[in-house]
Amino acid sequence: MTQPVAFVTGASTGIGFETAKKLAAHGFTVYAGARRVDKMEPLAARGVRIVALDVTNEESMSAAVGGVIAAHGRIDVLVNNAGYGSYGSLEEVEPAEGRRQFDVNVFGLARMTQLVIPAMRAAGRGRIINVSSMGGKMYEPLGAWYHATKFAVEGLSDCLRMELKPHGIGVSIIEPGGTRSEWGAISARGLRASSGTGPYAAQARVMAAVLATTDKAAFCTPPGAVADAIVHAAISPRPKTRYQVGGSARALLLLRRLLPDRVFDAVIWTIYKRFPA
């Protein structure tokens, strides 16, 4: 059998970068897609094939997927990892930014999935792995747009899993907690820009401090650990439908299941106010 083919979106840094490396090490022909092509050059040295990809652009997505299918006749595994976190009060974040958050985190994921399904269905097999977040089941202040997209990814993925099962295509959801990457620092900058002054400034200072720790805090999960879960979902004969990765994800999601809403609200603020603003 020829090498299985995987396509990883959002592969310029963090989870996507580590996933591309690990899938290549497990014998996959890996295509890594992102807008920042220069950031993926180290992957090329490991045999990963680099693709310019913008998941908000139809032409870019169609060309990227079409090129891989033309070369190999199929894509065996799609890892939908591209995404970012837009934070700020709902009152203050511009509607255009809310739409962009959905374009990247939900509609880009959905369109990439649409593009790979026909070849998977024709082959009678395939894996679609959607990187969600513990934020798809819990919430934070000033994170309305981001959390809304991750709740949407959870529902989309559950529906997709059921409709694709008769065609031999599996769907798994990855739910990381805080992960060491540039994601948090970028999200914190956006939060300060949108809500750092004005009526939500006090909350914004707390939340920005929390977000800014994700590249160095001891409780945050290395991106390689999340990549390990993705590889398991890609190669296991019986992958899980969901992978909660990291102690923070498991602990907070357990509390979310057990506690009433207002008690969980209080827990979140108690935890988050420990971070120096």
Question: What is residue 134's DSSP assignment?
Answer: G
Q: What percent of the chain has pLDDT over 70?
A: 97
Q: 146 an active-site residue?
A: yes
**For the residues 41-50, what does the mean pLDDT come to?**
96
Between CA 77 and CA 268 the distance in angstroms is 36
Give per-residue pLDDT as tens, 160-214: 999 999 999 999 999 998 777 777 788 889 999 999 999 999 999 989 988 887 7
What residue spans define the domains of the chain? 5-183+221-246
269, exposed or middle or buried, with CB in 10 Å at 0-12, 13-18, 19+? Answer: middle
CATH architecture of the region 5-183+221-246: 3-Layer(aba) Sandwich (3.40)
CB 158 within 8 A of CB 167: no
Is the separation of the CB atoms in 33 and 9 below 8 Å?
yes
The structure tokens listed for 166 are 């008769």
Name, in order, each residue with C-beta under 8 angstroms of 79's C-beta and a sequence gap of 6 or more. 6, 7, 8, 9, 16, 19, 23, 129, 131, 230, 234
pLDDT at 230 exceeding the cut of 80: yes
Q: For residue 17, give the nearest of 183, 184, 233, 249 by alpha carbon.
A: 183
Residue tagged active-site, from 146, 200, 243, 272 = 146
Which has more pLDDT, 177 or 129?
129
Residue whose token pair is 């401090």: 209
pLDDT at 215 over 70: no
